[in-house]
Amino acid sequence: MGSKRRKFTKEFKQEAVRLVESGGRTASEVAASLDVTPALLTKWMQSKRDDGEEAFRGQGKRTVVEEENWRLKLQNKQLAMELEFLKKVSRYFAKEPK
């Protein structure tokens, strides 16, 4: 039988990283005391270093930059559709009546 995958809260990850960064213990010691692998703890530390306060967002949650990028892509798509419509309308009205 396979073991069930464990999930860790944002607060747990932040506290684990804080324990290593405070200096008294190594990542391996902290990982052993928390019953996680050193590789996982290192991954959390890298995420904290890279993303700062936005680290450990959870599944499906976007960063501020990702959210802005998504919103701008959506707006760009809408504007492209409106432009295409205006081009079609202008061609229609540009035709001379028969």
Per-residue pLDDT band for 25 (boundaries 50, 70, 90) equals: confident
Provide the residue type at 56 as one letter: F
Q: Looking at the domain covering 8-61, what would its CATH class be?
A: mainly alpha
Average pLDDT over residues 33-37: 92
pTM of structure: 0.57
pLDDT at 41 over 60: yes
84 and 50 Cβ atoms separated by less than 8 Å: no
pLDDT at 1 over 60: no
Q: What is the pLDDT of residues 43-56, one digit of tens each?
A: 999 988 888 777 78
Q: What is the pLDDT of residues 76-98, one digit of tens each?
A: 999 999 999 999 999 988 887 66
Report DSSP state, residue 55: -
